[in-house]
Amino acid sequence: MRCFSRQIVQILKDRSIQYSSFDILSDEEVRQGLKTYSNWPTYPQVYVNGELVGGLDIVKELVESGEIENTFPKTVTLEHRLKALVNKCPIMLFMKGNKEVAKCGFSRQILEIMNNTFIHCILLYLCPQVRQGLKAYSNWPTYPQLYVKGELIGVMEKRMENEWCFLSVMTRKEDSNIPL
């Protein structure tokens, strides 16, 4: 990493700004294409949400003026990521495996119930950090975990009294009076 790039990386790290990088020396076509795209002849180039902010001089100006925090997105905490995940769709199922290959009996059971109701759900293979974080977030140590409108409503080990009740909660309409 070159001197100017190292300085920008240090500025971002010092302020806990989440970032990713690309080594433009690894691909000459990308290097030249970015110069044309950005109309900025030198590197490093810093982008936020696809928009060019500038190079090291601009980033330093943002630091000096105190505007850097307003220009760059804040690092998202794991708790905020988890809250966004469980609220991504009205019904979210977190399980081991995927819809085609459940990795445990409980996941297979809940998939059978959900497949019988023709409910669309999102099944996620979770990164280790999210997988462990969701256990703490839900205060439940195992998977699968089923969320409806962001609330944990069931895990197979602690499933509803009977399948009918479980299905009615999962299939209810927005205007239904069935309580969670």
Q: Alpha-carbon torsion 70, 76, 80, 86, what sign?
A: positive
Rounded-to-integer distance, Cα 118 and Cα 113, Å:
9
Rounded-to-integer distance, Cα 149 and Cα 154, Å:
12
**Class at the top of the CATH hierarchy for domain 78-171:** alpha beta
What pLDDT is attached to residue 149?
A: 84
- Weakest mean pLDDT among 15-19, 104-108, 120-124: 120-124
Rounded-to-integer distance, Cα 110 and Cα 115, Å:
8
Average of per-residue pLDDT across 135-163: 74
- State yes or no: pLDDT of 13 exceeds 60: yes
Rounded-to-integer distance, Cα 6 and Cα 10, Å:
6
Residue 148, strand partner residues: 91, 151
Burial class (CB in 10 A: 0-12, 13-18, 19+), 167: middle
Rounded-to-integer distance, Cα 24 and Cα 95, Å:
39
More reliable by pLDDT, 47 or 148: 47
Domain boundaries, the chain: 3-71, 78-171
What is the number of H-type helices and E-type strands within the chain? 8, 6
Average of per-residue pLDDT across 3-20: 91
- Weakest mean pLDDT among 41-50, 106-115, 137-146, 161-170: 161-170
Rounded-to-integer distance, Cα 51 and Cα 11, Å:
19
pLDDT in tens, 141-153: 888 888 888 888 8
Rounded-to-integer distance, Cα 149 and Cα 123, Å:
15
What pLDDT is attached to residue 161?
A: 44
Identical fold at 3-71 and 78-171? yes
Task: Say if residue 44 is preceded by a cis peptide, omega within 30 of 0.
Answer: yes
**Class at the top of the CATH hierarchy for domain 3-71:** alpha beta
pTM of the model: 0.50
